[in-house]
Amino acid sequence: MIFSSLEINKEEPLYAQIEKHIIKSIEKGELKKGSKLPSTREVSELLNISRNTIVTAYENLESQGIVLSEKGKGTFVAREAKIVKDDYNIHWEDKINNYGKTCETLDIIKTELPWKKGMISFKSIAPEEKLFDLEEFKRSFLEIWSLEGEKLLNYGYAKGYKPLIEYLLQYMREKGVNTEGKDILITNGFTEGFDIILAALTNAKDIILCEEPTHNTALKIMKAYGLKILSVPMDEGGINVAQLEKALKEESPKLAYLIPSYHNPTGIVMKGERRRKVYDLFKKYSVPIIEDGFNEELLYSSSPIEPMAALASRGNGVVYIGSFSKILFPGLRIGWILADKALIDTLESVKRAKTIHCSFLDQGVFYHYMKSGAFNKYLKKARKIYKNKYNFTIQQVKEYIPHEFIMGEGGLHVFLKLKRGIDSREVLRLCYERGVLFTPGDIFYNNSKEISTLRLGFSRLSEEEIKKGIKIIGEVVKSLE
């Protein structure tokens, strides 16, 4: 019987294997047109698999016109010779457009050295999950579940879960933002917020003004969209005002992307007079600001600062992107855009065309968690722990790594520049051999050939690991001096 030669593998569904075996037997000429196939019962017994599986295989072959089943008589081969032509193969690499290629080329997870078990990695700036208050979160889940479980599992609204939107509007008001004429769109974190804004407002070759250095994910997304990045250097107080005015005047950018309150990666907080001047310049040249509210909640060495969106008052020139992902539940992917009402209305349609809406279950649980007061309790605890780690890290860097500067007024990382133009990639290569990883600073730069900076994320490391890792980095740096 033809099935004696069939060897079952685990990769494919059984009935597909049976189909293929029959097709091959026809192709090889072992089964001719008109030949009767063994009965499903016989095959089932021989191969010791369910009869239904064989029935499915025979039915599929019949629907393809390869066999023909006659009631009461059995199943017969209906065609001869070559049935399956060569596999249909596409060379996908040739089909990827510039957007796709840029996303891949600049995807640091694929291009940077990978973490291996046992290594001390300063790469992560994700929050330490052990700090999350799981009991409170579960309570929030159970509470909202009993209130509106089934509703949260069905389609919701593109703009977001209404109570969460109201909560965030109030949260923004508490930060000093005038929400009159403004609205909020819930997004899958900062990343989707930024993606939606660029998708709706920019065309390839548009000029977008940024700080130099700036957030590497933002750089990646802007480059993928084919935007021309107009980088304005920073000094220790923030973006350089004279160079900013020159850039605004000479290049007429369409938009600006700024991280004014806790800059990534430098950690600079742009304050007082400088902040106002920068804002006024954008106003003067009518260039809208996309403000990244990154890490506003995690300042340690300076007092909380209003977002730039607060300076705008009733004006609508600032589009604010918020996210709690650096302190709370990044796995849920909840962020928001606060902007002019009419603009949000358009962005809501864009959101609907991209992901329809964010998980209503997550939004509901998140809202209940925030509203319960658990967030403030958690924030207090987390700030204290992170602040200690931050101080410890700074102290260790000062002790072990020869540096030109250390920057950052809070957050989950410090940013430093090595002395005498030492190449941080070379440092990384040597540290990697000794089990230590960090983020080389060059990925945050667009124009400058800045080779001596690096970012050290400390949020998920113990003091012991921080000390050990920094000592190794220090030794490597010294060996290169």
Q: Mark out the alpha helices in 175-311 (DSSP H runs).
A: 189-201, 216-224, 241-251, 272-284, 308-311
What CA–CA distance (Å, rounded) separates 238 from 219? 18
Q: Quickly count: other Cβ atoms within 10 Å of residue 446's Cβ.
A: 17
Options 52, 203, 252, 376; binder of a copy of itself; rule CB under 8 A: 203
List all residues 6 or more positions away from 382 whose beta carbon is below 8 Å from its beta carbon. Answer: 127, 131, 327
**Per CB under 8 A, which of residues 390..409 are in contact with a copy of itself?**
none
Length of the chain: 481
Options 130, 242, 421, 479; binder of a copy of itself; rule CB under 8 A: 130
Whichever of 117 and 155 has its CB closer to a copy of itself, that residue is: 155
List all residues 6 or more positions away from 75 whose beta carbon is below 8 Å from its beta carbon. Answer: 36, 37, 58, 62, 67, 68, 69
Cα-based distances in Å from 216 to 48, 107, 230: 57, 10, 15
Distance of closest approach, residue 398 Cβ to a copy of itself, in angstroms: 29
DSSP tag of 7: -
Whichever of 47 and 169 has its CB closer to a copy of itself, that residue is: 169
Site membership for a copy of itself, residue 99 (CB under 8 A): yes
Contact region with a copy of itself (CB under 8 A), list: 115-123, 216-224, 371-379, 473-481: 216-224
Options 35, 39, 44, 60; binder of a copy of itself; rule CB under 8 A: 60
Using only the alpha carbons of the chain, give its radius of gyration.
Answer: 30
Options 76, 132, 300, 432; binder of a copy of itself; rule CB under 8 A: 132
Options 2, 47, 78, 103; binder of a copy of itself; rule CB under 8 A: 103
Whichever of 198 and 428 has its CB closer to a copy of itself, that residue is: 198
Q: Quickly count: other Cβ atoms within 10 Å of residue 447's Cβ.
A: 12
Site membership for a copy of itself, residue 419 (CB under 8 A): no
Angle between helix axes 241-251 and 272-284 (nearest 10 degrees) is 10
Whichever of 239 and 347 has its CB closer to a copy of itself, that residue is: 347
Options 123, 215, 220, 263; binder of a copy of itself; rule CB under 8 A: 220
Element (H, E) at 271: none
**Per CB under 8 A, which of residues 13..42 are in contact with a copy of itself?**
13, 15-16, 20
Whichever of 167 and 430 has its CB closer to a copy of itself, that residue is: 167
**Quick one: tokens of 279?**
């804002």
Site membership for a copy of itself, residue 479 (CB under 8 A): no
Whichever of 7 and 174 has its CB closer to a copy of itself, that residue is: 174
Options 82, 95, 380, 449; binder of a copy of itself; rule CB under 8 A: 95
Site membership for a copy of itself, residue 322 (CB under 8 A): no
Measure CA of the first residue to CA of the last residue in the chain; give whole Å: 77
Contact region with a copy of itself (CB under 8 A), list: 27-35, 197-205, 235-243, 433-441: 197-205
Options 21, 51, 271, 471; binder of a copy of itself; rule CB under 8 A: 271
Site membership for a copy of itself, residue 139 (CB under 8 A): no
Q: Virtual CA dihedral for 303, 379, 186, 101, nearest 10 degrees?
A: 80
Site membership for a copy of itself, residue 202 (CB under 8 A): yes
3-state helix, strand, coil in the chain (%, to 5): 50, 15, 35
Whichever of 195 and 292 has its CB closer to a copy of itself, that residue is: 195
Sign of the Cα torsion 421, 422, 426, 431 reads negative
What CA–CA distance (Å, rounded) separates 392 from 132? 22
Options 5, 313, 447, 448; binder of a copy of itself; rule CB under 8 A: 313
**Per CB under 8 A, which of residues 141..180 are in contact with a copy of itself?**
141-142, 145, 149-156, 158, 173-180
* Peptide bond between residue 163 and the one before it cis (omega within 30 degrees of 0): no
**Per CB under 8 A, which of residues 61..90 are in contact with a copy of itself?**
63-65, 84-85, 87-90
Whichever of 276 and 434 has its CB closer to a copy of itself, that residue is: 276
**Per CB under 8 A, which of residues 40..59 are in contact with a copy of itself?**
59
Contact region with a copy of itself (CB under 8 A), list: 133-141, 243-251, 387-395, 468-476: 133-141
Whichever of 120 and 222 has its CB closer to a copy of itself, that residue is: 222
CB 207 within 8 A of CB 253: yes
Contact region with a copy of itself (CB under 8 A), list: 73-81, 234-242, 330-338, 431-439: 330-338
3-state secondary structure of 8: coil
The full 3-state SS of 20-73, as one line of letters, equals HHHHHHHHCCCCCCCCECCCHHHHHHHHCCCHHHHHHHHHHHHHCCCEEEECCC
Distance of closest approach, residue 107 Cβ to a copy of itself, in angstroms: 4
